Amino acid sequence: MKFVDEATIEVIAGKGGNGAHSFRREKFIPKGGPDGGDGGRGGSVFAIADRNINTLIDYRYARKHLAKGGEHGRGSDQYGAAAANITLRVPVGTIIYDAETGEELFDLNRHGQQVTLAAGGEGGLGNVHFKSSVNRAPKQWTPGKDGEQRRLRLELKVLADVGLLGMPNAGKSTLISRISNARPKIADYPFTTLHPNLGVVRTSESRSFVVADIPGLIEGASEGAGLGHLFLRHLTRTRILLHLVDVSSHDPDEDAVARAVGEARAIVEELRLYDEALYNKPRWLVLNKLDVVTDPEAVKKRFCKEYKWKGPVFAISALSGDGTQQLIWDLQNAIDAYRQEDNIAEDLADGTFVAEDPRFDETRSAADTRPAPPEK
């Protein structure tokens, strides 16, 4: 599933330092001549595509990026120091527009691609540059130039890493609102979710993934029943499917586990009928609403036995948050592993792959791996 992640930022490059107006003054050298140095270059603002980042969430909070100005020139032919540059790391696939005109400026579609968002101002010239045979004591100097300033709009079409599956009212919207900043509509009636919701789950400052919640599926969805069939195609690009199952019941006479097993099988059958590739995608089982179950562990064991489930299973309460932390940690680790595999495949295709241990680098030729002959 794709959604457009946007952020508007302001980048201001540093001003160049002023040139110096100075003359050499030393003992026994009454007319030393001009020695004013140039000003330093102002800092520039760059953007670089990084495949280890997948959202623009950082730039929703840090919206102003200001580089420092260069130092002024000094006497004794001392040039001012150039200011440090600022490099903004953005996800691969980020498109940068001018926020004022809407013009597309850059399309960062390759890992490591770097562009200049705002160039720093050049330093001014010191008076040493203006000396001549007819002007031996120049008083001219030039100020540093201003750095570029822009308001930019960053746009990224994000692919969801995790897709939520389940019957209506299985707790999908509650879960995505618990583990991310998404705030979908939540109510106690079926088909509360009428369109996809996406949320970014952040597990640390540098690690995150995207979760997609689609309208609940019902039996016959692959043939057009309900709303979920309209969005099943979006789940084909996700890496992992979370199958949420409601194991609670408000009716004391109902066998909640047997009902839940039947609903889970119906969902999986709809996946198989819709797309065999989607059916074979990695799927994790999440038993929800265990906070209203008397013996959660017994319910979990019975469900897995009757459902004949051998894959990953998690018992949670999306409402209270119990069990959700371990779920998102395990999801993050699995997604990082998938991303690493994709990165290696991309590097192999580009011919830029470098193994961590050269002994296990299959791209090296046989001549490279032969041991060196002994020294005589």
- Residues 283-333 pLDDT 10s: 898 888 887 777 888 888 888 888 888 888 888 888 888 888 888 899 899
Does 187 share its domain with 334? yes
Could you tell me the CATH number of the domain that includes residue 13?
Answer: 2.70.210.12
The predicted model scores a pTM of 0.59
Q: Is the pLDDT of residue 11 over 50?
A: yes
Does 97 share its domain with 47? yes
For the segment 24-33, the average pLDDT, to the nearest whole number, is 78
Residue 147's pLDDT is 92
Does 167 share its domain with 94? no
Q: What confidence tier does 189 reach under pLDDT thresholds 50, 70, 90?
A: very low
Lowest-confidence region among 134-138, 164-168, 370-374 = 370-374
Domain edge (last residue) among 104, 136, 157: 157
Does 96 share its domain with 181? no
Q: Which domain holds residue 195?
A: 160-348
- Residues 112-161 pLDDT 10s: 889 999 999 999 999 888 888 888 888 889 999 999 999 999 988 766 78
Question: Which has more pLDDT, 350 or 109?
Answer: 109
Interatomic CA distance for residues 76 and 187, integer angstroms: 75
Q: What confidence tier does 13 reach under pLDDT thresholds 50, 70, 90?
A: very high
Interatomic CA distance for residues 8 and 98, integer angstroms: 10
Does 184 share its domain with 318? yes
Q: In the chain, pLDDT over 70 holds for what percent of residues?
A: 80
Q: What confidence tier does 188 reach under pLDDT thresholds 50, 70, 90?
A: very low
Interatomic CA distance for residues 259 and 251, integer angstroms: 12
Interatomic CA distance for residues 1 and 6, integer angstroms: 16
Domain edge (last residue) among 93, 122, 157: 157
Does 202 share its domain with 129? no
Distance (Å) of CA 152 to CA 56, 85, 120, 247: 13, 18, 17, 48
- Residues 218-261 pLDDT 10s: 444 444 444 444 556 657 768 888 888 888 877 777 787 888 88
Q: Is the pLDDT of residue 366 over 90?
A: no
Q: Is the pLDDT of residue 262 over 80?
A: yes
Residue 222's pLDDT is 45
Residue 371's pLDDT is 59
15 and 67 in contact (C-beta within 8 Å)?
no
Residue 1's pLDDT is 42
Establish if 308 belongs to a structural domain: yes
Establish if 359 belongs to a structural domain: no
Q: What confidence tier does 62 reach under pLDDT thresholds 50, 70, 90?
A: confident
**pLDDT, the chain, mean:** 79
Residue 114's pLDDT is 92
Could you tell me the CATH number of the domain that includes residue 245?
Answer: 3.40.50.300
Residue 323's pLDDT is 85
- For the chain, the domain total comes to 2
Residue 289's pLDDT is 84
Does 214 share its domain with 108? no
Question: Which has more pLDDT, 338 or 67?
Answer: 67
Residue 184's pLDDT is 45
Does 152 share its domain with 194? no
Does 195 share its domain with 293? yes
What is the C-alpha R_g of the chain?
Answer: 31
Domain edge (last residue) among 157, 183, 208: 157
Residue 137's pLDDT is 84
Does 103 share its domain with 237? no
Establish if 354 belongs to a structural domain: no
Residue 246's pLDDT is 85
Buried b (16+ CB within 10 A) or exposed e, 99-133: eeeeeeebebeebebeeebbbbbbbbbbbbbbeee
Which of 219, 312, 311 minimizes the C-alpha distance to 274?
219
